[in-house]
Copies of this chain bind each other. A is one copy, B any other.
Amino acid sequence: MAEKLLTREKGFSEWYVDVVLKAKLADYSDVKGCMVIRPNGYAIWENMQRVLDKMFKDTGHRNAYFPLLIPESFLRKEAEHVEGFAPQLAVVTHAGGKKLEEAYVIRPTSETIINSMFSRWIQSYRDLPLLLNQWANVMRWEMRTRLFLRTTEFLWQEGHTCHETEKEAEDETLKMLEVYRAFAEDYMAMPVLAGRKSDSEKFAGALRTYSIEAMMQDKKALQAGTSHALGQNFAKAFNTQFQGRDGKQAYVWQSSWGVSTRLIGGLILTHSDDAGFVAPPKLAATHVVIIIIGRTPEERGPVREKAHALAADLKKAGLGVIVDDDESKGPGFKYFEYELQGVCLRVELGPKDLAKEQVVMVRRDTRQKDFVPISQAVAHAEGMLDQMQKDLFAKAKKLRDDSTFEVNSYDELKAKADAGFMLAHWCEDPACEARIKEETAATTRNRPFTLEQKPGACVACGKPSPGRIVFSKAY
Q: A43-B62, A90-B92, A143-B96 are contacts. A117–B36 as well, Cβ < 8 Å? A: yes
Shortest CB-to-CB span from A117 to chain B, Å, is 6
**A31 touching B96 by the CB < 8 A rule?**
no
**B67 touching A39 by the CB < 8 A rule?**
no
**A95 touching B104 by the CB < 8 A rule?**
no
Shortest CB-to-CB span from A210 to chain B, Å, is 26
What is the chain B residue whose CB lies nearest that of A26? B65
A252 at the B interface (CB under 8 A): no
What is the bound-complex CA distance between A29 and B107, given in angstroms?
A: 14
**B62 touching A39 by the CB < 8 A rule?**
yes
What is the bound-complex CA distance between A213 and B139, given in angstroms?
A: 36
Most buried by B among A74, A91, A93, A96: A96
**A69 touching B36 by the CB < 8 A rule?**
no
Which segment, of A81-89, A240-248, A413-421, faces chain B? A81-89
What is the bound-complex CA distance between A272 and B9, given in angstroms?
A: 64
What is the bound-complex CA distance between A94 and B87, given in angstroms?
A: 11
Shortest CB-to-CB span from A133 to chain B, Å, is 9
Shortest CB-to-CB span from A39 to chain B, Å, is 4
What is the chain B residue whose CB lies nearest that of A139? B68
- Chain A contributes a number of interface residues (CB within 8 A of B) equal to 53
**B90 touching A95 by the CB < 8 A rule?**
yes
**B86 touching A94 by the CB < 8 A rule?**
no
**B29 touching A66 by the CB < 8 A rule?**
yes
A456 at the B interface (CB under 8 A): no
Among B27, B89, B153, contact of A68 (Cβ-Cβ < 8 Å): B153
- How many copies of the polypeptide does the oligomer hold? 2
Shortest CB-to-CB span from A149 to chain B, Å, is 16
Among B27, B34, B42, B64, contact of A69 (Cβ-Cβ < 8 Å): B34
Q: A86-B97, A132-B39 are contacts. A67–B31 as well, Cβ < 8 Å? A: yes
Which residues of B lie under 8 Å from residue A37 when comparing CB positions? 64-65
What is the chain B residue whose CB lies nearest that of A73? B30
Which residues of B lie under 8 Å from residue A68 when comparing CB positions? 34, 68, 106, 137, 139, 153
**A36 touching B90 by the CB < 8 A rule?**
no
What is the bound-complex CA distance between A86 and B42, given in angstroms?
A: 30
A46 at the B interface (CB under 8 A): yes
**B113 touching A31 by the CB < 8 A rule?**
yes
Most buried by B among A43, A70, A92: A92
A373 at the B interface (CB under 8 A): no
Interface flags for A19-45 (1: CB within 8 Å of B; 0: not) read 000000001011100111111001101
Given contacts A30-B113, A88-B96, A91-B93, 6 further A-B contacts (CB under 8 A): A29-B113, A65-B155, A68-B153, A69-B153, A91-B94, A106-B106
A-B contact pairs, 21 of them (CB 8 A): A29-B66, A30-B74, A31-B104, A34-B68, A34-B69, A36-B64, A36-B65, A36-B67, A39-B132, A43-B62, A68-B139, A68-B153, A69-B153, A87-B96, A90-B92, A91-B95, A92-B93, A95-B141, A96-B143, A106-B106, A137-B137
The 4 closest A-B pairs by CB, nearest first: A96-B141, A39-B62, A34-B67, A37-B65
